Structure 1
Amino acid sequence: MMPGESLSEIPLIEQVRVINQRFRSCLSPLLLLCVFWFAACGSAPPDSDWRDPVDAWQSDDVGGEQDAVGSVVGDGWRSGPGAEAIVGPVITVATFNQHHLSDTICQSGQCGPNDFERKWSQAEFDARIAERAAAIDALNADIIFLQEVETQAVLDALNAALDDPYPVAILAETGYSASLDVAVLARGALVDSREYSELNDSTYRFSRRFLRVDLDIQGERVIAFSAHFKAKYQDQAGRRIAEAKTAHQIVTEVAANHDGALVILGGDLNDTPDSEPLMALTGDGLLKRVAEGMDILDVYTFVYQQRRQEIDHLLIAPTRGGRYVNESVHSLHDEGEWVGYGGSDHSALVGQFEMR
């Protein structure tokens, strides 16, 4: 321990060594045990405004596991090839920006060729729905994070057009005219859902609602967050960073309270892995971007000025309840093209996750 250094600034084992040196003559084994206990309590995550007192499920954990506060962060967040053995059921998860999947009604009153909103004819709408539905069918995913869907009615039309419609189809309506919103399609049973709009930085709000969906899939608990951060078009300095910091706080605190669940975040985050917003999400290791270390040719989701970019992401909060299946993540593009999928200007990003 260096001069001027406080006890809380050094590792726990070093704290114990220093305390033991100072009080060896009077420190009994029982008191030493108490020191360990109090030090461990001091490392528990603090309460915050994001931790809803009714957030804990009132029933026993799905699958019978007891939740524990405090997720395990380390190399064990991966399973499969080159990592831990797979022992639980595996599900497929995807994120797929729908690129202005709007309806036949002009809500804004401005629906010209160069306007933000486009009023589709019924035939055009039906064709777009059929094209997106075919692409989603091909994903064969258990959970799909969607972005840029205008209304719940549009989501319902898309779901109905699928070969095997999803029992869970939830859209988080932002509320302004012609808003393009996030949604989740999922297998299993819906347990709960909620939306977040406020950011820790009171200057901004989430540009689209941050959607949480709690699911029971094959008797296992899955908590899925769907996100669409502010686009760089007409950018607002700091807004994506504020969105990332708030999303990080929400997801990691939920994961700490539900350590028996698979906790995942997916969506169009409109920034690359080395950007400040993505570092705000992943820098402390409490959220892991599953495509880290992958070749960009395998996982890019958007092309800007003829440059491939990773701006759509899947992340996992390391918990006892779930693992990412190593090397399973990849992006899908329309056949013969390297831009977009299913008529969208984004590719779909797909990965597999083990539930425990």
Structure 2
Amino acid sequence: MVTRVATFNVENLFDRARILAADTWEVHRDDLEAYAELTRVLQQDTYSAVDKERIVELLVRLGLGASDEAPLMRLRQNRGRLVRRRTGGEIVVEADGRGDWIGWLELRRQSPTELALRHTARVVADLAPDVLGVVEAEDRVALGHFSHDLVRPAAGWEFEHVMLIDGNDERGIDVGLMTREGYPIGRVTSHVDDRTPEGQRIFSRDCPELEVGLPGGGRLVVMVNHLKSKGYGSQASSNRARARQATRVREIYEARLAAGEELVVILGDLNDTPDSEPLAPLLGNGGPRDVSTHPAFDDGGWPGTYTTGRAGNKIDYVLCSPAVFDAVRAGGMHRRGVWTASGRWPMYETLTRPVDAASDHHAVWVDLDL
């Protein structure tokens, strides 16, 4: 029996941080870096004089100098006060540490267009996957509504099982799994708390292991991933984070094989190319095999999985254990919901402007004879 497995970065379905909605990371790179730094400073038990000066600088940089509201984010001061703004524009940090106030820095959100949502559902309906890894989903409830309210009218069926565990990303971009009837999700193992020996949290989101029952018996172990992006922070620090994550994913994968699991798939957005140094710990030295290297895989002449489809934009993957790779019968990418001005691939007839695209990512699929 053929089982179709796919991965799709949906870039949030109903609710997306405004700061993530630009065409490229560079548009809001400075804002993202300031947000990340300020969030770290605010979590400290004690604010030194230098910390307080930096808090003020970062608030102003983020447009929060005169008010708790800015176009991209807001400062929540629920109890106690972090800052007080005096007449004349002076900002005074009143809290001496995290215990003096309750609140947080919150990213403001916006909804995609209705047509973008329908195009996203149409991609999934056209793919008709039995097992779908979803990247950048808000939460399990949103995935359930997407399946019932949008996929079902477009496809005539909906996913029977939906699973998502909140990860470590404060922007609300998580990874999840959706499966159709006959593919029940069994045991789920989260790795949100995995840490390095030095105590550093490893995963930006999570690396959940989900056991999926197969109609003919047996099970497929699916690991859904969204590794550290290149979007903000220095390239060196981002590369180190991705390398740590890739190393840990490989360890989990090898542990599954050692425990006797033969059917293991790693899928999702790895945010780097196959020849990159950060992904070498996962892909090198006998690691899981990239389905796009299989003779039965057809990329249509464009190996990339993001925006233009060029090779340098290959960042989404379906990686297979040896037994899964041997079971590949066909594979490819679904691009019709991705905007292109070049005519490199046909788009949906209703996709006439970039804002209505289903995603900037191309869905990757594979048919397995399991």
Look up the SS of the partner of 1:158 in the other structure.
Answer: helix
Deviation of residue 314 (structure 1)? Answer: 0.6
8 A contact 1:144–1:186 mirrored in 2? yes
Q: Which residue of 2 aligns with 1:349?
A: 364
Question: 2:134 aligned with 1:134, yes or no?
Answer: no
Aligned partner (choices 210, 215, 228) of residue 212 of structure 2: 215
RMSD: 3.2
Deviation of residue 131 (structure 1)? Answer: 2.5
Question: 2:251 aligned with 1:254, yes or no?
Answer: no
For residues 311-350 of structure 1, what are the structure 2 equivalents within 5 Å? 311-319=315-323, 322-326=324-328, 328-334=330-336, 337=340, 338=344, 343-350=358-365
Q: Tell me the amino acid that sits aligned with residue 302 of structure 1.
A: Y
Question: 2:223 aligned with 1:225, yes or no?
Answer: yes
Q: Which residue of 2 aligns with 1:196?
A: 191
Q: Deviations over 1:181-228 (max 9, x none)?
A: 001111311221121121446434200111111011202311111000
Q: Tell me the amino acid that sits aligned with residue 313 of structure 1.
A: Y
Gapped regions of structure 2 (runs ≥ 5) = 19-34, 36-67, 75-105, 349-356
8 A contact 2:303–2:309 mirrored in 1? no
Q: Which residue of 1 aligns with 2:60?
A: none
Per the alignment, do residues 352 and 287 of structure 1 end up closer, same or farther by CA in structure 2, a change over 3 Å counting?
A: same
Q: Which residue of 2 aligns with 1:206?
A: 203
Per the alignment, do residues 203 and 105 of structure 1 end up closer, same or farther by CA in structure 2, a change over 3 Å counting?
A: closer
8 A contact 1:299–1:331 mirrored in 2? no
Provide the TM-score with structure 2 as the length reference.
Answer: 0.62
Q: Tell me the amino acid that sits aligned with residue 214 of structure 1.
A: E
Deviation of residue 345 (structure 1)? Answer: 0.5
Look up the SS of the partner of 1:100 in the other structure.
Answer: coil
Q: Which residue of 1 aligns with 2:71?
A: 112
Sequence identity of aligned pairs in percent?
A: 23
Q: What CA distance in whole angstroms lies between the structure 2 residues aligned with 1:242 and 1:251?
A: 14
Moved over 6 A (4+): 108-111, 113-116, 293-296, 304-307
Q: Deviations over 1:25-80 (max 9, x none)?
A: xxxxxxxxxxxxxxxxxxxxxxxxxxxxxxxxxxxxxxxxxxxxxxxxxxxxxxxx
Q: Which residue of 1 aligns with 2:47?
A: none
Deviation of residue 158 (structure 1)? Answer: 1.1
For residues 294-305 of structure 1, what are the structure 2 equivalents within 5 Å? 297-303=301-307
Q: Which residue of 2 aligns with 1:238?
A: 240
Per the alignment, do residues 305 and 104 of structure 1 end up closer, same or farther by CA in structure 2, a change over 3 Å counting?
A: closer
Q: Which residue of 2 aligns with 1:10?
A: none
Q: Which residue of 1 aligns with 2:135?
A: 147
Look up the SS of the partner of 1:159 in the other structure.
Answer: helix
Deviation of residue 279 (structure 1)? Answer: 1.9
For residues 23-62 of structure 1, what are the structure 2 equivalents within 5 Å? none
Deviation of residue 299 (structure 1)? Answer: 3.6
Q: Which residue of 2 aligns with 1:86?
A: none
Q: Tell me the amino acid that sits aligned with residue 231 of structure 2.
A: Y
Q: What CA distance in whole angstroms lies between the structure 1 residues aligned with 2:330 and 2:161?
A: 24
Per the alignment, do residues 99 and 105 of structure 1 end up closer, same or farther by CA in structure 2, a change over 3 Å counting?
A: closer
Name the stretch that deviates more: 189-198 or 265-274. Answer: 189-198
Q: What CA distance in whole angstroms lies between the structure 1 residues aligned with 2:321 and 2:211?
A: 15
Gapped regions of structure 1 (runs ≥ 5) = 1-88
Q: Tell me the amino acid that sits aligned with residue 352 of structure 1.
A: D
